[in-house]
A and B are shown apart, each in its own frame.
Chain A
Amino acid sequence: MVLEKYLSQIAVKEIFPEGQKRIESSSVVVIGMGGTGSSIAEILVRMGVQKITIVDNDTIEASNLNRQSLYMESDIGLKKVDVAKEQLVRMNESVAVNAIDQKLNFLNAEEILAGGDIIMDGTDNYSARNVINTTAFRLRKSWIFSAVEGTYGYVKAIIPGRTSCLSCFGYPDKGEAISCTVQGVIPSAVKAISSIAATTAIKVLIKNEQNGDLIYFDSWKPSLEVMPIPKNEKCKVCGVVSETQIS
């Protein structure tokens, strides 16, 4: 551990002293390197995560630059994962970045998610989250759901066997992305949701957090609500029936 780099966060009692070791020994997989994914990756790598896999097949566009802070004007047209990898290593030379230039789907998900201690959701659509939710449950991997639009968004920890999953409360499982330029989103809301998601991940990694409440945050109002989501025994992903079918 290069102590000096992390002095300010180690001084926080929630991290000190074992937490930092756990952060540094954790392997994180970030699916999607857009607004939330790139911000979450930045926070976690700056905090000391030394093994990160980033997954995205998009190229950088001018409309990304207001909120996707890993990318610069001169990067327009380049692959997100290539630029992100370079930037993350510049931020913290201790990190090993595995850049995967693919879109997550049911064919590649198992191999990609298997390498993570925790999976971070940086996706922008229902279908991709359904792939994460289903595959992570099968692999018994914890993941952090995050979604944002307009001025507000959600974060929820999903810990197989302990918390409810994304399907337990009726979150849609189909539907492709609506472009952020159509749907609209303010950069500060993206950053706020990403920060909550990164903090939630750290809690799962270092404190064995078992809380799966849904966090709703509106950066404009501003307001924050935390609501319990009980497990749904009839859930088609994590319900008793589907669990029996899998095992």
Chain B
Amino acid sequence: MKILIKYYAKYRDSTGKKEEILEVDEMNVRELLGFLRNRYPKLSGDKTSLIALNNRFGKEEVQLSDGDTVSVFPPVSGG
């Protein structure tokens, strides 16, 4: 299935992309993050990342469906 992945903030540098469409197997949101971290090791610089599925933050156990949009954000800490 095809998933649109959007990268935000410093993750655009980490991946060299603003967005991309990836062909992936059946998996949930958490597994997709693992897949992306393998593909772009710089994403693993953060212990965790914030992930929205179809512009909504929610459970990481949700299974992805063909045509979903996944947005990946870094967990900003500064102030």
Residue numbers of A with Cβ under 8 A of B are 32, 34-37, 121-126, 129, 146-154, 164, 168-172, 175, 177-178, 180, 183, 185, 214, 216, 218, 225, 227-230, 232
Q: Is the CB of B57 within 8 A of A228?
A: yes
Compute the total of residue contacts between A and B using a CB distance below 8 Å.
87
Contact of A171 (CB < 8 Å), options: B50, B58, B60? B50
Q: Is the CB of B75 within 8 A of A172?
A: yes
Instruction: Please name the residue on chain B nearest to A226 by beta carbon.
Output: B55
Q: Is the CB of B47 within 8 A of A180?
A: no
Given the known interface contacts A227-B56, A228-B57, the answer about A149 and B48 at a Cβ–Cβ threshold of 8 Å is no
Q: Can you pick out 11 interface pairs between chain A and chain B where the beta carbons lie within 8 Å of each other? A: A32-B79, A123-B79, A147-B78, A170-B51, A170-B60, A171-B75, A172-B47, A178-B78, A185-B78, A227-B57, A229-B56
Main secondary structure of the interface of B (DSSP, over half): loop
Nearest-CB distance from A81 to chain B (Å)?
A: 15
Contact of A169 (CB < 8 Å), options: B50, B71, B76, B78? B50
Query: Once bound together, how far apart are the Cα atoms of A6 and B9, in whole Å?
Result: 37
Instruction: Please name the residue on chain B nearest to A218 by beta carbon.
Output: B9
Query: Once bound together, how far apart are the Cα atoms of A209 and B78, in whole Å?
Result: 25
Residue numbers of B with Cβ under 8 A of A are 8-10, 47-48, 50-52, 55-60, 71, 73, 75-79
CB-CB under 8 A from B51, the residues of chain A are 170
Nearest-CB distance from A115 to chain B (Å)?
A: 21
Contact of A147 (CB < 8 Å), options: B47, B52, B55, B77? B77
Query: Once bound together, how far apart are the Cα atoms of A183 and B47, in whole Å?
Result: 16
Query: Once bound together, how far apart are the Cα atoms of A148 and B79, in whole Å?
Result: 5
What 3 A-B pairs are tightest by C-beta distance, nearest first?
Answer: A149-B78, A124-B79, A229-B57
CB-CB under 8 A from B79, the residues of chain A are 32, 34-37, 121-124, 146-148
Query: Once bound together, how far apart are the Cα atoms of A124 and B59, in whole Å?
Result: 26
Query: Once bound together, how far apart are the Cα atoms of A35 and B71, in whole Å?
Result: 27
Query: Once bound together, how far apart are the Cα atoms of A152 and B50, in whole Å?
Result: 14
CB-CB under 8 A from A175, the residues of chain B are 47, 77
Query: Once bound together, how far apart are the Cα atoms of A232 and B61, in whole Å?
Result: 12
CB-CB under 8 A from B73, the residues of chain A are 216
Q: Is the CB of B57 within 8 A of A172?
A: no
Given the known interface contacts A216-B8, A230-B56, A230-B58, the answer about A147 and B48 at a Cβ–Cβ threshold of 8 Å is no
Instruction: Please name the residue on chain B nearest to A179 by beta carbon.
Output: B78
Query: Once bound together, how far apart are the Cα atoms of A178 and B10, in whole Å?
Result: 16
Given the known interface contacts A150-B9, A171-B50, A218-B9, the answer about A126 and B77 at a Cβ–Cβ threshold of 8 Å is yes
CB-CB under 8 A from A168, the residues of chain B are 57
Q: Is the CB of A154 within 8 A of B76?
A: yes
Contact of B76 (CB < 8 Å), options: A152, A229, A232? A152
- The residue among B55, B59, B71, B79 with the most chain A CB atoms within 10 A of its own CB is B79
